[in-house]
Structure 1
Amino acid sequence: MTTPAPESRAIDAPEVAAYWAERRRYLERIRKVPEIRQRFWREVAVYLLRRLLWSFGFFPVFIAFWVPFVLASFNPVVMASDLIPLLQEFVNSNPEVQATTISTLVIAWASIGFFFLVFDFVLTPFRSPYQYEADVYMRSWEQLNHDQLPDKV
């Protein structure tokens, strides 16, 4: 047998709806402000550039140097002595083998980059300046309407 909901629960729904309605109205208003729109596009560009540089610049390069360094037991002399014959073999090979090796390295670099890019987008989602502005506004709106709002808004 279920117990009836307390009366305060029945009153909370309109107040919560008022909170989200006010947030929606505020977001509609600030979307028309050119400075915030410009800041939004600048932050989108910086976010995408940062994600791309991090995923295609740092991780593939880090893995390309870290894995051989670990396999060489953190000894750069062993790593160099293992890599020098491979580099000499690459330089002395015919152009077709060199092209195949380079394309394999590019495919490996791109696959590592795309792998980390997907997880980077998931782990660090974009935070819109519109949402930030709305959060700040709604905190002040909550303080002004504190006595009218439920406890968990």
Structure 2
Amino acid sequence: MSTLSDPATASQAPDVAAYWAERRQYIERIRKTPEMRKRFLGRIALYLLRRIAWSFGFFPVLMAFWVPLVFASFNPVVMASDLIPLLQAFVDSNPEVQATTLSTLTIAWASVGFFFLVFDVILTPFKSPYQYEADVYMKAWEQLNQDQLPTQNSAR
């Protein structure tokens, strides 16, 4: 169990500070390069496009077909025979009822999509290309500075 008063921890503190200082400086340097900025904007646009497509495209459509199929005991014939009278009643109804039904379906679709979007963004956070490049750089930096860093066995 190491504490702040432990000599091994005290000797590693400058090394950790140097590591994070070097990482911070490297990220500041690569943020200024146009190629990395372009890559960052492209990755964030692709990330948002994927999250929105999954949340508003796949999940609401899946639920719109899956829930009725479950209620029909996974029998598409029963599902169709249950839905045909509903569709016929929709077609035969007046325009005000049709507009209300369509707005209700739109609100349901948007709420399901927004619900999945929030949790999708939480469960799959954006991975910045700056952080990836910094990880690669810092692995190389650690290899170059390995002889300068004390090992755990020699610090004890």
TM, length-normalised to structure 2: 0.92
Match of residue 78 from structure 1: 78
Match of residue 108 from structure 1: 108
Deviation readout 1:63-115 (Å, 9 max, x if unpaired): 00000001001100000000000000000000000000000000000000000
Contact preservation (8 Å) 1:15, 1:148: no
Contact preservation (8 Å) 1:55, 1:116: yes
CA distance in 2, matches of 1:93, 1:141: 71
Residue 10 of structure 1: CA displacement?
Answer: 1.2
Match of residue 121 from structure 2: 121
Match of residue 67 from structure 1: 67
The alpha-carbon distance between structure 1 residues 104 and 4, as it changes in their structure 2 partners (threshold 3 A), is closer
Contact preservation (8 Å) 1:55, 1:117: yes
Aligned to 1:104, what secondary structure does the other structure show? helix
Gaps of 5+ in 1: none
1:1-153 aligned within 5 A: 5-149=5-149
State the number of aligned residues.
Answer: 150
Question: Could you say what the CA RMSD is over the residues aligned between the two structures, in angstroms?
Answer: 1.6
CA distance in 1, matches of 2:56, 2:76: 25
Residue 6 of structure 1: CA displacement?
Answer: 3.2
CA distance in 1, matches of 2:10, 2:113: 51
TM, length-normalised to structure 1: 0.94
